[in-house]
């Protein structure tokens, strides 16, 4: 079964819109877990426009499931992760002003940089996932960097799904086959929803975890958070 980690950035965006503490991020995270999700994902950006660094610290030790912290490994981010020691950190190559993650790491040209960061996080017993495009060369590079997992950027798949889903999934299947050969675990995330996730998971049965936020929270406006989470869990069985 593929695990569901819910990205709660959008909850923080809603809270920040009024400058107060409603909805409360910790309470929402705990409710999401009680509804069946197996993980919580946060992505604190430098401008703290949704998740704040203080949010990350507040979540520490207060959710009884895996915490995944995503981000570009600036010194401030690295210090935060080392202080919290989440179960997983996902390294993404976002610029400071990026609206959302839109491309994966070049694991070849950033080999030394990423290797040092992975080694540091491993020294604190933190599992490391590297966000990459569905590219075998980048996947093999992540293995050489000694990452525990890669998160496949599924934005291109989601864009092409309604045009030609067989073509859309092709590179991801190829990556999954190579990942299995070299013993590298796979996560996936970005623009996945209840429509395109079903085919993705049926096509690639080795995905350890999907990190979902924007679509899941948007869909929950219509069907409710608990019902939406349970619908995704049914897909991932």
Please, what is the Cα angle at 91 between 174 and 209, to 5 degrees?
Answer: 55
214 is annotated as an active-site residue: no
What is the Cα–Cα distance from 217 to 125, expressed in whole angstroms? 31
In Å, what is the CA distance from 25 to each residue of 59, 97, 163, 212?
9, 23, 37, 16
Using left for φ > 0, alpha for ψ between -120 and 50, and beta otherwise, residue 190 falls in left
Q: Does 190 participate in catalysis according to the annotation?
A: yes
- C-alpha 196: how far from its chain's center? 17
DSSP secondary structure string, 90-103? EE----TT-SS---
Instruction: Assess contact for 224 and 17: CB atoms under 8 A.
Output: no
Q: Is 50 noted as a catalytic residue in this protein?
A: no
- Find the catalytic residue in 50, 66, 70, 219: 70
Q: Which position among 50, 66, 151, 190 bears the catalytic label? A: 190
Residue 150's H or E segment, with its range, is strand 149-153
Coil/strand/helix, residue 108: coil
Name 108's Cβ contacts closer than 8 Å, sequence gap at least 6: 137, 138, 141
Active-site annotation, residues: 43, 70, 190
């Amino acid at each position: 079964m593929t695990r569901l980690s819910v990205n709660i950035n959008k909850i923080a965006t809603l809270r920040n819109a009024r400058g107060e503490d409603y909805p409360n991020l910790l309470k929402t995270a705990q409710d999401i877990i009680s509804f069946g999700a197996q993980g919580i994902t946060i992505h604190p950006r430098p401008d703290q426009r949704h998740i704040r660094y203080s949010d990350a610290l507040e979540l520490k030790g207060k959710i009884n499931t895996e915490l995944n912290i995503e981000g570009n490994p600036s010194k401030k981010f690295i210090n935060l992760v080392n202080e919290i020691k989440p179960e997983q950190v996902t390294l993404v190559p976002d610029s400071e002003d990026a609206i959302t993650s839109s491309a994966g790491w070049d694991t070849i040209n950033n080999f030394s940089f990423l290797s040092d960061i992975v080694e540091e996080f491993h020294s604190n017993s933190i599992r490391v996932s590297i966000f990459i495009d569905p590219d075998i060369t980048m996947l093999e590079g992540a293995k050489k960097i000694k990452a525990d997992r890669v998160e496949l950027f599924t934005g291109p798949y989601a864009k092409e799904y309604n045009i030609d889903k067989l073509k859309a999934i092709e590179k991801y299947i190829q990556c999954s086959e190579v990942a299995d050969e070299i013993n590298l675990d796979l996560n996936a995330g970005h623009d996945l929803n209840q429509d395109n996730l079903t085919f993705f998971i049926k096509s690639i049965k080795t995905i350890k975890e999907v990190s979902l936020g924007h679509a899941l929270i948007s869909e929950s406006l219509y069907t409710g958070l608990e019902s939406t989470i349970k619908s995704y869990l049914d897909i991932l069985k």
